[in-house]
Amino acid sequence: MPFRRLGATVIGGALLLAAGCSSIVDGTPQPEPAALATTDEAGTAGRPLAELLLPPEQFPEPYDAVVLPPQAVAQAAPDLTGVPEGAKVDPPGCLPPPQNYGPDGTAMVVGTDNDSRATISVELVAVTDDLAAYRDRLVECPVVAATRRGVTATVTTTVDPSAPPAAAGVATLAFTRTVRSGEGREVVTQSMTSRIAQVDDVRVLVTYMSFGAGPADTATLGRVFEASVERVRVG
């Protein structure tokens, strides 16, 4: 499956991501307090996170990719956790930790298959903890009920005990996640398959997301994951 250079159609990827997430961006969301990123410069060797992202033109077909602006990052990143900003969770200790969604804390590029509406997102996050601590949080919260504005979603996360390697000496993690919301015929299910790696102070999260229970495009997910980790690793 060859790589290709994208044209103006990449804009549709961001619109489809917004349609596939649990809320619509309105206004200008402000970044959360920087609990994880503590320096003015984020990224390997001091490079901004945006410069470490896999370029949109390197996404494989049929994924049209676009780098998200900060206001879209503030919506898309929480949606991938299944817990939107401002939600209450049960168990209470399973609320995702605060994250800096500004350019020093988080950067995202999203590729969209315009036929299936499936997406592959690459999220780079500046962190101060290690990947083992991140894994522990997932294991401790396998099923979470997240309620916002009277709507409750059930978030189920299963950690894969055999995460695929990314590069020598790079810690990795893999998990699947489903987010079910609504009732009766109006139930909506988001299915996600994620691969995570950590290179120094940068966490690389690559997620395939679709609606329904169809198989994930793990072949393309793996290619994007490996390419994204390598780009961060070489700085």
- Summarised one tens digit per residue, pLDDT across range 105-154 is 999 999 999 999 999 999 999 999 999 999 999 999 999 999 998 889 99
- Summarised one tens digit per residue, pLDDT across range 176-193 is 999 998 777 778 899 999
Domains of the chain, start order: 10-234 (3.40.1000)
Asked if 96 contacts 37 with a C-beta cutoff of 8 angstroms, the reply is: no
DSSP assignment of 142-164 = SEEEEEETTEEEEEEEEEESSPP
Cα–Cα distance for residue pair 163/149, rounded to 1 Å: 36
Residue 11 has pLDDT above 60, yes or no: no
- Summarised one tens digit per residue, pLDDT across range 59-113 is 999 999 999 999 999 999 999 999 988 899 999 999 999 999 999 999 999 999 9
Q: At a CB cut-off of 8 Å and minimum separation 6, what does 116 contact?
A: 210
The values of phi and psi at residue 202, to 5°, are -120, 125
Query: Is there a cis peptide before residue 62, judged by omega within 30 degrees of 0?
Result: yes
By residue count, the chain amounts to 235
Sign of the C-alpha dihedral computed for residues 21, 90, 131 and 235 taken in this order: positive
Tell which residue, 188, 180, 191, 128, has the closest CA to residue 154. 180
Tokens in use for 195?
Answer: 């691969």
